[in-house]
Amino acid sequence: MKKLLLVLALITPFVCDAAPKKEKKEEPVVHLTDEQIYDELKKLALVFETARDKFVEEADERKMLEGAMNGMLAALDPHSSYLSADDFKEFNDKSHGEFGGLGIQITSDKGAIRVISPIDDTPAAKAGIEAGDYITHIDGEQVFDMNLNQAVKKMKGKPGTTVKLTVVHDGNEPKVMTLKRAIIKVKSIKFSEKSDAAAMDDEKLPKIGYLRVSDFGATTTKELKDAIKDLEKKNVAGYVLDLRNNPGGYLTAAVDMADAFLDSGEIVSTRGKEKSDIERMFAKSGDLINGKPIVVLINHGSASASEIVAGALQDNGRAIVMGSQSFGKGSVQQQKPLGDGSAIHITIARYYTPSGRSIQNEGITPDIEVLQSKIETIEKKEALFTEATFNNSLKNDASDKKDKSSKKKDPKKSSKSDDDDDEDYLSLSDEEKDARDYQLQRAMDMVRALSKVGKKNLEKVEEVSDEKSDEKKSDEKKSDSKK
């Protein structure tokens, strides 16, 4: 059996405090001697023996030892941890594209469980759970005493069975939601050919290739190539690469994605403990979309592998990045199997963009900040002063009919609360959701603008070359006549 080493770029817990913290000065590490380490290990064994013998209830030795290993690794950074055999198998099943549960990616925040993002087309997404929501109870049990692994296990179960989640959305009152578990088949990429309302009326307006990437898994590279191949046949003018709320995944998948749009240049570098421990990854020749414009969409939920792709395309001048500041997870984790089915997940390096920027705690700053917004009408339907407000103005022949039809309208239907809007959103078609997605609409506008600029420049180059060709022919004729 080959030794399994998975280098990953994964989202992990962070805590968001209301007040900014003062940066602590890092004190140099004081290393213990071998003799001191041996003494501390003896002390650890003594603590274990005492706790096992004196604890008021029957102690679970396996649970105690796993807790000690978890605590040891957690003391290094928030991303290092111990994985039991079950946890390690579960992680690999999820990474390779299929697992059971609700389809929700979570992290720990102030003792609660915070939603990173629901996976597209899963029970969590269909129930309306959103990135940033907090889960406070699972089947009526508070989550404050659970770690992430325990919370995940409680949400998993046989497909078809139900689980109740108490969810808090954007500071609103807690809401109890009943979700039905299902086999979650992770499809990393959804793609389509998009246009806006104006484009439907005018076929000359260019169509945009839309690539929605939900995570970076084992099948992402193949899915990406298949999607581009299909969209290129439709002759799209450019692409929107949507990495919003994408928490990361395999480093190799992120490198492959950036490489698909680059013809050359560095993609990412990793720098380890030693100064000489630097690894650089470069793009191979061949841009799969032949230089067409790209806009990359990111937000606060775009982390790790997503940030690698956005940073690579941004630093190489290959794409315009739009949206909001990304998460800022720029460290490399490696899984080291321990031989009995368990493993440790440990941070071994940091990520840097091609220009040398560290992603850690900073994230990717978009070239153009576009915050998600809701468009609302600010102009009244009926103006204060119109022709109709003047005395003795001529009446419209059809006005009586309009008055009668307006009276028939139900005033209740025109007044909707924000809650109604949220519920209605879930029942909208993909086209209607696109129309409400402010960031996506601005990204599509940018792609269209870039495609037009590119065409105009190309036309100018062709015109100049034609003029030079005509001048050359004219000079040749003059030369012939002189002869």
458-479 exposure pattern, b = at least 16 Cβ within 10 A, e = fewer: eeeeeeeeeeeeeeeeeeeeee
**Residue type, position 65, single letter:** L
In whole angstroms, give the CA distance from residue 276 to residue 134: 42
Long-range Cβ contact pairs of 161-166 (< 8 A, separation 24 or more): 163/102, 163/138, 163/139, 164/137, 164/138, 164/139, 164/140, 165/129, 165/135, 165/137, 165/138, 166/135, 166/136, 166/137, 166/138, 166/140
Selection from 14, 4, 94 nearest residue 300 by Cα: 14
What is the helix (H) or strand (E) element at residue 270, kind and residue range? Answer: strand 266-271
Q: Give 444-469 as a 3 state SS string.
A: HHHHHHHHHHHHHHHHHHHHHHHHHH
Selection from 127, 343, 100, 370 nearest residue 242 by Cα: 370
Q: Token pair of 25, please?
A: 């000065």
- Given the residues 215, 259, 315, 434, select the one marked as catalytic: 315
What's the first-to-final CA gap in the chain, in angstroms?
83
Q: Token pair of 473, please?
A: 């022919």
Selection from 176, 56, 95 nearest residue 83 by Cα: 95
In whole angstroms, give the CA distance from residue 312 to residue 292: 16
- Compute CA distances 427 → 128, 197, 477, whole Å: 10, 20, 71
- Pairing assessment for the beta strands 320-323 and 104-109 based on DSSP bridges: unpaired
- Compute CA distances 11 → 246, 358, 421, 482, whole Å: 9, 16, 31, 76
- The SS3 of residue 308 is helix
> Can 86 be counted among the known catalytic residues?
no
- Given the residues 84, 304, 326, 331, select the one marked as catalytic: 304
Q: Token pair of 171, please?
A: 């500071």
Contact indicator for 209, 239 with CB cutoff of 8 Å: yes
> Can 315 be counted among the known catalytic residues?
yes
Could you list the active site residues?
A: 304, 315, 329
